[in-house]
A and B are shown apart, each in its own frame.
Chain A
């Protein structure tokens, strides 16, 4: 079983070139709107279903690691899957592939479209968009809130986080990390009491 698995892996390694990895992730970066979880669905289609490079179980496991690490989920997934396919060099090839289209598209927009941002119609359009984003942030808070504000200790952490941010005006990164630490200790406390 182990020997079989090793051969199939080394065959897979021979089959998948760096160019293939780069091109796959480049296409995903180029055509996927909406980042993170939208991208995960397309990645799964491309890697698990179409190419069979990785199994569904491996995909889900890497997805959960990708969300444990800060930063864009798509970039983290690309790194982890690239690493599975061709080691560390594969990891960097995949990451570069998924980042590069974003970088180039935005650079083109910045070079050629930025002057038009002062046009009153464009300005009004962007103002409308930024108001929608305010609504979208509130919506994300609503969805997450519904999911996590179901235990007393999560509510305590959330309120303390808000007090840190709004009253003490701490750095947002500090607030997120201290919520993680506090959550950890509250969880442990609860488990100890249960024992």
Chain B
């Protein structure tokens, strides 16, 4: 019960910080679940996130369900998913009429730009924190760098999921 409560709290924190969802949740999950709580090892988390990425649906929801399950079974999956969407749904439930009014407001635009730059520093941080934990050898570095360069040079021409799948298949042969 205590574990479920902590899981709910962790995923609510993740849900508050995940501006734009998706990739931004990765450093937050790493910080909360691997770092602060120590519920999973980095490699276990990375495997779950890889699956979350490849299955349909929002990545943030998939990741919450999977990590929750791995930490505390089916109940954990339900609690983590609920916790992950709770902050957004509460803000929308109580604040939607207000948000509609301030959205076009000058002050909101200034705050939003700051937030987006904050997300950018989080992405730089994630590239370092996740990257340094994931890459364990020179070969692995080349795979990650290859994925990065492929995405940069084929921008918009290739869906990121194909790059993830291709690296997975490559992994079967070289690891």
A-to-B contact residues, CB < 8 Å: 29-36, 39, 61, 64-65, 67-76, 79-80, 83, 88, 91-92, 95, 98-99, 101-103, 105-107, 109-111, 114, 117, 121, 123-145, 148-149, 154, 157-162, 164-166, 171-173, 175-184, 186-188
Contact at B49–A130, with CB atoms within 8 Å? yes
Of the candidates A32, A101, A130, the one having the most CB atoms from chain B within 10 angstroms of its own CB is A130
B40 cross-chain contacts in A, Cβ below 8 A: none
Decide if B3 is an interface residue (CB 8 Å cutoff). no
Contact at A133–B122, with CB atoms within 8 Å? no
B-to-A contact residues, CB < 8 Å: 13-23, 26-28, 31, 43, 46-47, 49-62, 65-66, 69-70, 74, 77-78, 81, 84-85, 87-89, 91-93, 96, 99-100, 103, 107-108, 110-128, 130-131, 134-135, 140, 143-152, 155, 159-161, 163-172, 174-175
Complex partner residue of B57 from A88, A101, A139, A179, CB under 8 angstroms: A101
Contact at B114–A181, with CB atoms within 8 Å? yes
Distance between B134 CB and nearest chain A CB, rounded to angstroms? 5
Q: Who on chain B is nearest to A109 by CB?
A: B51
Contact at A157–B56, with CB atoms within 8 Å? no
B100 cross-chain contacts in A, Cβ below 8 A: 65
Contact at A176–B147, with CB atoms within 8 Å? no
Complex partner residue of B144 from A117, A132, A183, CB under 8 angstroms: A132
Q: Who on chain A is nearest to B134 by CB?
A: A134
Contact at A36–B17, with CB atoms within 8 Å? no
| Besides A91-B92, A131-B144, A138-B148, 19 new A-B residue pairs in contact (Cβ under 8 A), listed by A number | A29-B58, A32-B56, A33-B56, A69-B88, A80-B96, A98-B57, A102-B56, A103-B61, A106-B51, A107-B74, A110-B65, A124-B172, A129-B171, A130-B43, A130-B50, A134-B147, A142-B152, A158-B120, A176-B115
Name 6 interchain pairs, CB-CB below 8 A, sorted by A.
A30-B57, A99-B57, A128-B167, A132-B143, A137-B126, A144-B123
Q: How many A-B residue pairs have CB under 8 A?
A: 368
Distance between B130 CB and nearest chain A CB, rounded to angstroms? 6
Contacts A70-B17, A161-B122 given; does A133 touch B58 at CB 8 Å: no
Distance between A148 CB and nearest chain B CB, rounded to angstroms? 5
Distance between B98 CB and nearest chain A CB, rounded to angstroms? 11
A149 to B113, CA, bound (A): 11
Contact at B65–A103, with CB atoms within 8 Å? yes
Complex partner residue of A131 from B65, B70, B88, B135, CB under 8 angstroms: B135
A132 cross-chain contacts in B, Cβ below 8 A: 143-144, 147, 163-164, 166-168
A184 cross-chain contacts in B, Cβ below 8 A: 107, 110-111, 114
A72 to B164, CA, bound (A): 21
B160 cross-chain contacts in A, Cβ below 8 A: 34, 136, 139
A150 to B151, CA, bound (A): 22
Contact at B99–A65, with CB atoms within 8 Å? yes
B168 cross-chain contacts in A, Cβ below 8 A: 125-126, 128-129, 132
